Amino acid sequence: MSKLRLFQRDIINSLKRSNMTAIGAVLIIMIIAASLSSEHFLDEYNLKAVVRDLAFIGMIGIGQALLLLIGELDLSVGKIATLCGVIAGMLMVTSGLNPFLSLALALTLGILLGALNGLIITKLRLNSMVVTIGMAGVYGGVTLVLTKGKAVTNIPAVVHFLGKGNLGLVPLPFVFTLAVLIGALFLVKKTKTGRYIYAIGNNKEAARILGIKVDRIRIFNYGVMGFISALAGILYVARLGSSQASIGENWPMNSIAASVIGGVALTGGVGNPAGALIGAAIISVIQNMIVLLGVNVYWQSAVSGFVVVAAISFGSISAIVRDRKQRKAKMQALAKINPGEKNCGQT
């Protein structure tokens, strides 16, 4: 078999396995529906705004997908993003440090905070959800102590460009998201660590018996999540031009929703980080449509929440419908063979 064909088969297999084709189709349908229902959807300005929005949820969603693959999650992503964004801002504005050095320090802090989550979860054998809810409180609290609730303004223009600027037509944050995606895909498809992530998500005990250093990989994943959170936080600060304590409020839930819509199983071991990006795109298109269609401001949150739940249920509803149909067909076939025997119940 030629290399190319092997490669093609690889792609086809991974597409089949992660149901990516179905999710991609849903996204395309939504885009078509959006452009038909609102003439402004395809405006360059609108599209750029949507892409800039989805860059953040997409990026966090990719990290969340890595954690979901080992059957865990991180609800402190938004607070890590805020803290790192604020610290980057304070370093470059208040302390007058070189902007890029400040960014590097903030990213490193993100890795450390993520790894701290991982350390607590693995070494104390605690549940990831409970620990990260608690740590979200800690990180959010530290941010408030540092800023006393005030925003840090006057972010240097070079940094501002990272969040506000475009590469050609593409908003820069989305370029970073694509870079994160390529990194994540390389990790899960092409490295030992990636394969171990799937092994752990499939069967943690079997992975230990195979000699895989399970806790080390778990901590690694939390570190990656921390890094991505910090990156998203910094880009958001760059986009706003000021760092404030309120960014990333809805990132934890939206990133998990994006992963689940993208076909990553909450139980671990199944899915593809690319799905999370498609999921994030679906969520962003939904939210954009709600705005474009002029839904009452007070209703927006309820409507977008409902549509997200509907999107998550999509896969499982189609499975239920399929089961029903099969059962009905079989009952009819049986009724033909045994006419008149409607109640063959217990005596």
Partner 1 sequence: MPVLEARRLTKVFPGVTALDSVDVAFEPGRVHCVVGENGAGKSTLIKCLTGVYEPDGGEVLVGGRRRGPADRTAFRRVAYVPQEIDLFGHMSAAENLFLPYNQSYFRGLVSQRRLEERAWPWLERFRIDVRPDQLVKDIPISSQQLLQVARATVNEDYEALLLDEPTTSLTDGDAAALFDVVRRLKAEGKAVIFISHKLEEVFALGDELTVMRNGEAVGHSELDRLDVGAVITLMTGRPIDREEVFRSGAVTDEPLLEVENLTGERFASVSFRLNRGEILGFYGLVGAGRTELMQAVFGYLPAYAGRVRLAGAELKLGDPSAAVRQGLIYLPEERKKYGILPQLSVRENASISALDRLGAFLGLSAARENALAAEVVAAYDVKTPSLEQAIEYLSGGNQQKIVIGRAMVCEPRALIFDEPTKGIDVGTKTEIYRMMKKLAEEKGIGIILISSEMEEIIKCSNRIIVLYEGQKSGEFMGGTNKDQILSAAFGVVKN
Residues binding partner 1 (CB under 8 A): 3, 6-7, 10, 13, 186, 189-192, 195-196, 198-199, 202-203, 205-213, 269-270, 327, 330-331, 333-334, 337-338, 341, 344-347
* Cα gap 139→158, rounded to integer Å: 27
CA distance 158 to 91: 15
Smallest distance, partner 1 to C-beta of residue 14, A: 10
Assess contact for 273 and 201: CB atoms under 8 A: no
Alpha-carbon distance values, 163 to 31, 90, 168, 241 (Å): 25, 17, 14, 8
Q: Which CB sits closer to partner 1, 296 or 346?
A: 346
For the chain, helix (H) and strand (E) counts, in that order, are: 14, 2
Instruction: Answer for the pair 256, 74: CB distance below 8 angstroms, yes or no.
Output: no
| Minimum distance, C-beta of residue 264 to partner 1, in the bound complex (Å) | 13
Nearest to partner 1 of 37, 203 (CB atom): 203
Residue 296 vs 332, nearer CB to partner 1 = 332
Label the pairing between strands 170-171 and 166-167: antiparallel
Query: CB–CB of 196/210 below 8 Å?
Result: no
- Nearer to partner 1 among residue 114 and residue 269 (C-beta): 269
Rounded least distance, CB 57 to partner 1, Å: 27
Question: Phi first, then psi: what are they for 284, rounded to 5°?
Answer: -65, -40
Q: Which is nearer to partner 1, 20 or 81 (CB)?
A: 20
CA distance 151 to 229: 19
Rounded to a whole number of angstroms, the minimum distance from the CB of residue 242 to partner 1 is 40
- Rounded-to-integer distance, Cα 86 and Cα 53, Å: 20
Report which secondary-structure segment, H or E, holds 232.
Answer: helix 214-240
How near is the Cβ of 7 to partner 1 at its closest, in Å?
Answer: 7
* Shortest spacing between CB 113 and partner 1, in angstroms: 27
At 145, list the tokens: 């102590």
Task: State the Cα–Cα distance between residues 36 and 261, nearest whole angstrom.
Answer: 23
Q: CB–CB of 20/272 below 8 Å?
A: yes
- Output the smallest distance, CB 107 to partner 1, in A: 24
Give 10 or 43: the residue with its C-beta nearer to partner 1.
Answer: 10
Q: Identify which of residues 132 and 221 has a Cβ nearer to partner 1 in the complex.
A: 221
Q: Which run of H or of E encompasses 248?
A: none
Q: How many CB atoms lie within 10 A of CB 60?
A: 33
Closest contact distance (angstroms) between CB of 59 and partner 1 is 22
Query: Minimal distance in Å, beta carbon 45 to partner 1?
Result: 39
Alpha-carbon gap, residue 298 to 215, rounded angstroms: 45
Kindly tell me which of 180 and 188 has the beta carbon lying closer to partner 1. 188
The C-alpha atoms of residue 157 and residue 162 are separated, in whole angstroms, by 9
Question: In the complex with partner 1, which residue's Cβ is closer, 100 or 186?
Answer: 186
